[in-house]
Amino acid sequence: LISGLMASTTIAAGAADMTVGFSQIGSESGWRAAETSLTKSQAEERGIDLKFADAQQKQENQIKAVRSFIAQGVDAILIAPVVATGWEGVLEEAKDAEIPVVLLDRQIDAPEDLYLTAVTSDQVHEGKVAGEWLVKDVGDAECNVVELQGTTGSSPAINRKQGFEEAIAGHDNIKIIRSQTGDFTRTKGKEVMESFIKAEDGGKNICALYAHNDDMAVGAIQAIKEAGLKPGTDIKVVSIDAVPDIFQAMAAGEANATVELTPNMAGPAFDALEKYKADGTEPPKWIQTESKLYTQADDPMKVYEEKKGLGY
Ligand code: AHR
Q: What percent of the chain has pLDDT over 70?
A: 95
Residue 223 has pLDDT above 60, yes or no: yes
Residue 115 has pLDDT above 50, yes or no: yes
pLDDT band at 17 (very low <50, low <70, confident <90, very high): confident
pLDDT value for 6: 36
Residue 216 has pLDDT above 70, yes or no: yes
Residue 146 has pLDDT above 50, yes or no: yes
| pLDDT per position as a tens digit, 63-94 | 999 999 999 999 999 999 999 999 999 999 99
**Number of other CB atoms surrounding residue 113 within 10 Å:** 9
pLDDT band at 296 (very low <50, low <70, confident <90, very high): very high
The reply to whether ligand 1 has any atom less than 6 angstroms from the CB of 29 is yes
* 11 vs 134: which has the higher pLDDT: 134
The reply to whether ligand 1 has any atom less than 6 angstroms from the CB of 307 is no
The reply to whether ligand 1 has any atom less than 6 angstroms from the CB of 126 is no
pLDDT value for 16: 59
How many CA atoms lie less than 13 Å away from 220 in the CB half-sphere? 39
Residue 12 has pLDDT above 60, yes or no: no
The reply to whether ligand 1 has any atom less than 6 angstroms from the CB of 239 is no
Mean pLDDT score, 255-279: 97
Question: How far away, in angstroms, is 4 Cα from ligand 1 center?
Answer: 39
pLDDT value for 15: 58
| pLDDT per position as a tens digit, 177-213 | 999 999 999 999 999 999 999 999 999 999 999 999 9
Question: What's the whole-number average pLDDT of the chain?
Answer: 95
Residues shown for the chain: 312
pLDDT value for 309: 82
pLDDT value for 63: 98
The reply to whether ligand 1 has any atom less than 6 angstroms from the CB of 260 is no
Question: How far away, in angstroms, is 7 Cα from ligand 1 center?
Answer: 36
pLDDT value for 307: 94
The reply to whether ligand 1 has any atom less than 6 angstroms from the CB of 22 is no
Mean pLDDT score, 107-126: 98
The reply to whether ligand 1 has any atom less than 6 angstroms from the CB of 62 is no
Return the ligand 1 atom nearest residue 28 CA.
10
Residue 53 has pLDDT above 90, yes or no: yes
Question: How far away, in angstroms, is 163 Cα from ligand 1 center?
Answer: 16
